Amino acid sequence: MKTILIIIAHGSRNEGSNTEVRELCGRLAEVAATDHVMPAFLELAEPSLSATVDGAVNAGAERILVLPYFLNSGRHVTRDVPALVSTARLEHPGTSIDLLPHIGGTDVFFSAMESIVRRQGRQED
């Protein structure tokens, strides 16, 4: 089953920030247990989630995982991204599209933060 991971970020007027997301996708593609990793943006940058899902389906994706690249569960995480995923499911009924938890809401993110904080504390001793 061809699986594609889509990282959806907010998008920025600062193109450097959008480039960081695209580069992150490239780095994740090297380690992800998926066939491909693609970026998408909620606003202020392209491609949109809809366009990225269309591209993934056209590339033969049978399963799409959507990972919100957000720290907090604000409006984008609780309403906007789920609504876009629901629309994508309706537009592509033959493709499994799963919405993953946002980055900031995972234990793995907390563990990474904890590691950074502990390491920083040791450097100051």
Mean pLDDT of the chain: 95
In order of start, what are the domains of the chain with their CATH numbers?
3-123 (3.40.50.1400)
**What DSSP state is assigned to residue 79?**
I
Separation of alpha carbons 99 and 63, rounded Å: 11
**Which carries the bigger pLDDT value, residue 3 or residue 118?**
3
If one counts every other C-beta atom within 10 angstroms of the C-beta of residue 72, the result is 11
**Residues 100-117 pLDDT 10s:** 999 999 999 999 999 999
* Residues designated as active site: 10
**Residues 19-59 pLDDT 10s:** 999 999 999 999 999 999 999 999 999 999 999 999 999 99
**pLDDT attached to residue 123:** 63
Contact between residue 116 and residue 84 where contact means Cβ atoms under 8 Å apart: no
Q: Does position 15 have pLDDT exceeding 60, yes or no? A: yes
Q: Does position 3 have pLDDT exceeding 80, yes or no? A: yes
Positive or negative, the CA dihedral 45, 37, 81, 56 is positive
Contact between residue 41 and residue 18 where contact means Cβ atoms under 8 Å apart: yes
